């Protein structure tokens, strides 16, 4: 699949060193970087660690870090050399021949290049006698050496076969350095490469590095550009991950390691060009529209749900022969309500709060191609055709969160579905003119410790791009909010909005917050027609305060007549440089589900998030 070896630093993961090695092997990495504090704290001897890695099929690619070697105090430098010899002993036990030497952040660091070159040459000569090579890394906060180019000037001047460079994308990109010049460094003098991404931040770079790194694809660094320059240098060694992240250190190491491998494959795929040996993800048939959603309601909540679906213009079209599943249809849209006691049909796991959105069905001509792509990116994907009705490969299911999956469905699956359901007598769906035309977006709640993982999955498997959206203000909190949008291709691009649920709110989810996060936003061509149709079917518009409409008048200068019409139907409004957005909401059903009807005018790109606080206040608690 890929000719480039993958590696990961043990500091990325939680657990003991032994547990970390197990997780790294389980995820499918080729090797590890042993982080010294992990070894020092381990009851295993260096040779036992070597043996354990060997049994797991892992190479020990790097021992790190060796700190503060250079010194303006000659006696201290001698002591540092003695410390290095002791570490060479450890490395021979480990069977590892590459040591990371990082630039010194101390006040006593050498500030004269010529002296530094002499000291590093002395260390390189000592290493050579032991068959060890050194990879010199510029820490972004180093006293004298803090850019990769300076570290390269030093290595070039030392000119010793046992001394090369370690390039770490964090140290280069956090400083805003230009990675293109990496292409000018001879690849065989780059001994090791460490990858990290990060969200853009304005803070002390040491604190930033120690707490906020994340995997490639989870942050906002231009790693592709770094990778392209690296490939031009001729470097062909391992691609390793070195992530200092508080959440990763506390999470499930197997899951974190699997995310890590996915991130390296995703990065390689983004940087690969014809003929190179980087990982290439399998091609897929494009995604079409979102055509169905499945909601676990349980027996208790299904009647409330049914009346809201009816008001939205959905008609009951069938009941499943074997399960308590109800099929609701409107034009091309399908809503499946799982009313069975154990919500048997909600594959990803039973949501704690019902009703809950459990599946999002999206069209593609070749679901199997999506399953192949997901597998190649280390995402478990199930083929889940309806038993006895449709072939397994008609549906590829990718779990996005613990409760919600994306099901890529073949066009034929709609008809197969019909066959598994007993039609509801007397309902002629074909003659009713649909008011709702599609799914504009779907909102899902994401626990904070899965946030980066979910975004990486959506980016890598579905090619979706994240965008920061305005925070959602709730009566009892402030919620982080991101949209993740697939490239345009279908008539309506696949759009998700992710709301971050943190700590206490995640464990008691639904009671700690006023407003739900999970929702399905249906699109329509004319929201006033849609609102009138809903009213005729008995729907009562949310009571939106007149303060809101006064504010709209002040901000946008909308005509009074339009504002009155909007107020009568509980319609909210937003505008950006490219267009307008009209939307209305149903009350929340249970703790975390509501529906939205939206009309986009022109190229409006947001989700009306500025109105969230008004929506939440108007939705009955
Ligand atoms: O934060 C540090 O000290 C540290 C240590 C070793 C590294 O490779 C690195 O990038 C940072
Ligand atoms: Mg590093």
* pLDDT (mean) for 12-20: 98
What would the pLDDT profile of 62-89 be if each residue is shown by its tens digit? 999 999 999 999 999 999 999 999 999 9
Q: What is the structure's pLDDT at 509? A: 47
Q: State how far the Cα of 253 lies from the Cα of 238, in Å rounded to an integer.
A: 21
Of 396, 417, 432, the position where a domain reaches its end is: 432
* Residues 310 and 262 grouped into a single domain: no
Q: State how far the Cα of 328 lies from the Cα of 337, in Å rounded to an integer.
A: 8
| Percent of the chain topping pLDDT 90 | 75
Ligand closest to CA 193: 2
- Confidence band of 110 (pLDDT split at 50, 70, 90): very high
What would the pLDDT profile of 532-582 be if each residue is shown by its tens digit? 999 999 999 999 999 999 999 999 999 999 999 999 999 999 999 999 999
Residues with Cβ within 6 A of ligand 1? 64-65, 100, 102, 137, 139, 168, 194, 209-210, 242
Structure token pair of residue 571: 């319609």
What would the pLDDT profile of 500-518 be if each residue is shown by its tens digit? 887 655 444 444 456 678 9
Nearest CA to ligand 1 atom 9: 139
First to last CA, the chain: 52
Nearest CA to ligand 1 atom 11: 139
Angstrom distances, CA of residue 20 to CA of 10, 39, 53, 194, 606: 6, 11, 10, 18, 41
Ligand closest to CA 194: 2
Which CATH number fits the domain that encloses residue 420? 3.10.180.10
Which CATH number fits the domain that encloses residue 211? 3.20.20.150
* Residues 395 and 344 grouped into a single domain: yes
- Widest CA span in the chain: 94
Computed over every residue of the chain, the mean pLDDT equals: 91
- Decide if 404 is inside a domain: yes
**Residue to substitute in 65, 98, 221 for testing ligand 1 pocket (most ligand atoms within 8 angstroms of CB):** 65
pTM of the full predicted structure?
0.92
Q: What is the structure's pLDDT at 512? A: 46
- Confidence band of 610 (pLDDT split at 50, 70, 90): very high
Q: Is the model's pLDDT at 427 over the cut of 90?
A: no
* Residues 446 and 555 grouped into a single domain: yes
Task: Give the chain's domain count.
Answer: 3
- Taking 3-state DSSP, the helix, strand and coil percentages for the chain, each rounded to the nearest 5, stand at 40, 25, 35
What would the pLDDT profile of 128-170 be if each residue is shown by its tens digit? 999 999 999 999 999 999 999 999 999 999 999 999 999 999 9
What would the pLDDT profile of 370-410 be if each residue is shown by its tens digit? 999 999 999 987 777 766 667 777 889 999 988 899 999 99
Q: Is the model's pLDDT at 315 over the cut of 90?
A: yes
> Using an 8 Å Cβ cutoff, are 408 and 398 in contact?
yes
* Residues 44 and 13 grouped into a single domain: yes
For the complex shown, is ipTM > 0.95?
yes
- Decide if 418 is inside a domain: yes
Q: Domain span at residue 224?
A: 6-271
Q: Which atom of ligand 1 is nearest to the CA of 9?
A: 8
* Residues 392 and 525 grouped into a single domain: no
Q: What is the structure's pLDDT at 416? A: 73
Q: State how far the Cα of 374 lies from the Cα of 108, in Å rounded to an integer.
A: 50
- Decide if 278 is inside a domain: no
The Å distance, Cα 140 to ligand 1 centre, comes to 9
Of 396, 411, 432, the position where a domain reaches its end is: 432
Q: Report the SS3 class of residue 60.
A: strand
Query: Tokens 């091309």 identify what position?
Result: 332
* Residues 219 and 125 grouped into a single domain: yes
Q: Is the model's pLDDT at 343 over the cut of 70?
A: no
List the one residue out of 490, 453, 585 whose CA is nearest residue 531. 585
Q: State how far the Cα of 317 lies from the Cα of 180, in Å rounded to an integer.
A: 59
Q: What is the structure's pLDDT at 309? A: 96
The Å distance, Cα 241 to ligand 2 centre, comes to 9
- Decide if 281 is inside a domain: no
Per-position DSSP letters for 51-100, written without gaps between them:
HHHHHHT-EEEEEEEE-----SSHHHHHHHHHHHHHHHHHHHHHT--EEE
**Residue to substitute in 8, 63, 242 for testing ligand 1 pocket (most ligand atoms within 8 angstroms of CB):** 242
Query: Tokens 């890929």 identify what position?
Result: 2
* Residues 393 and 448 grouped into a single domain: no
Element at 289 (helix H, strand E): strand 287-296
The Å distance, Cα 194 to ligand 2 centre, comes to 6
* Residues 501 and 379 grouped into a single domain: no
Angstrom distances, CA of residue 467 to CA of 71, 286, 480, 481: 46, 21, 12, 9
């Amino acid at each position: 699949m890929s000719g480039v070896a993958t590696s990961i630093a043990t500091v990325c993961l939680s657990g003991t060193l032994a547990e970390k090695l197990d997780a790294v092997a389980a995820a499918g990495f080729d090797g590890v970087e042993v982080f010294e504090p992990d070894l020092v704290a381990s009851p295993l001897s260096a040779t036992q660690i070597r043996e354990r890695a060997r049994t797991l099929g892992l190479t020990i690619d790097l021992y790190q870090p060796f700190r503060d070697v250079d010194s303006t105090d000659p006696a201290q430098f001698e002591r540092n050399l003695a410390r290095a010899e002791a570490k060479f002993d450890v490395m021979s036990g480990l069977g590892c021949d590459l040591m990371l030497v990082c630039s010194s952040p101390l006040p006593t660091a050498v500030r004269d290049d010529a002296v530094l070159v002499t000291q590093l040459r002395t260390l390189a000569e000592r290493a050579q006698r032991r068959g060890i090579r050194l990879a010199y890394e510029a820490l972004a906060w180093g006293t004298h050496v803090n850019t990769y180019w300076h570290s390269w000037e030093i290595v070039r001047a030392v000119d010793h076969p046992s001394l090369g460079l370690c390039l770490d994308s964090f140290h280069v990109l956090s400083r805003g350095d230009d990675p293109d010049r990496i292409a000018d460094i001879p690849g065989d003098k780059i001994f090791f490469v460490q990858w990290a991404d990060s969200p853009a931040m304005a803070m002390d770079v040491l604190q930033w590095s120690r707490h906020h790194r994340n995997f490639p694809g989870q942050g906002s660094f231009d790693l592709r550009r770094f990778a392209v320059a690296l490939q031009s240098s001729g470097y062909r060694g391992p691609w390793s991950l070195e992530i200092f992240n508080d959440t990763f250190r506390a999470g499930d190491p197997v899951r974190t390691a699997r995310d890590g491998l996915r991130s390296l494959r995703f990065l390689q795929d983004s940087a690969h060009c014809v003929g190179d040996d980087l990982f290439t993800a399998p091609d897929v048939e494009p995604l079409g529209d979102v055509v169905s959603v499945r909601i676990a309601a349980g027996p208790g909540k299904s009647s409330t749900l049914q009346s809201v679906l009816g008001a939205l213009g959905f008609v009951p079209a069938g009941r499943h022969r074997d399960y308590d599943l109800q099929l609701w249809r409107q034009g091309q849209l399908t809503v499946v309500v799982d009313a069975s006691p154990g919500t048997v049909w909600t594959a990803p796991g039973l949501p704690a709060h019902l009703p809950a959105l459990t599946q999002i069905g999206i069209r593609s001509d070749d679901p199997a191609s999506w399953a192949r792509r997901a597998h190649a990116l280390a995402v478990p994907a199930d083929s889940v055709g309806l038993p006895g009705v449709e072939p397994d490969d008609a549906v590829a299911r990718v779990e996005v969160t613990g409760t919600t999956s994306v099901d890529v469905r073949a066009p034929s699956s709609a008809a197969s579905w019909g066959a598994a359901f007993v039609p509801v007598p007397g309902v002629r769906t074909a003659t009713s003119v649909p008011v709702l035309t599609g799914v504009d977006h779907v909102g899902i709640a994401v626990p904070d410790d899965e946030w980066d993982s979910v975004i990486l999955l959506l980016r890598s498997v579905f090619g979706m791009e994240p965008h920061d959206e305005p925070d959602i203000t709730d009566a009892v909190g402030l919620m982080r909010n991101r949209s993740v949008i697939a490239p345009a291709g279908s008539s309506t691009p696949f759009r998700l909005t992710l709301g971050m649920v943190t700590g206490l709110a995640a464990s008691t989810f639904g009671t700690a917050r006023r407003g739900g996060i999970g929702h399905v936003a249906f699109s329509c061509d004319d929201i006033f027609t849609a609102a009138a149709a809903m009213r005729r079917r008995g729907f009562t518009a949310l009571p939106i305060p007149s303060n809101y409409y006064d504010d709209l008048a002040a901000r946008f200068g909308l005509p009074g007549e339009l504002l009155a019409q909007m107020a009568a139907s509980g319609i909210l409004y937003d505008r950006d440089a490219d267009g307008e957005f009209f939307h209305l909401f149903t009350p929340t059903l249970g703790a975390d589900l509501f529906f939205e009807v939206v009309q986009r005018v022109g190229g409006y790109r947001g989700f009306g998030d500025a109105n969230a606080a008004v929506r939440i206040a108007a939705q009955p608690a």
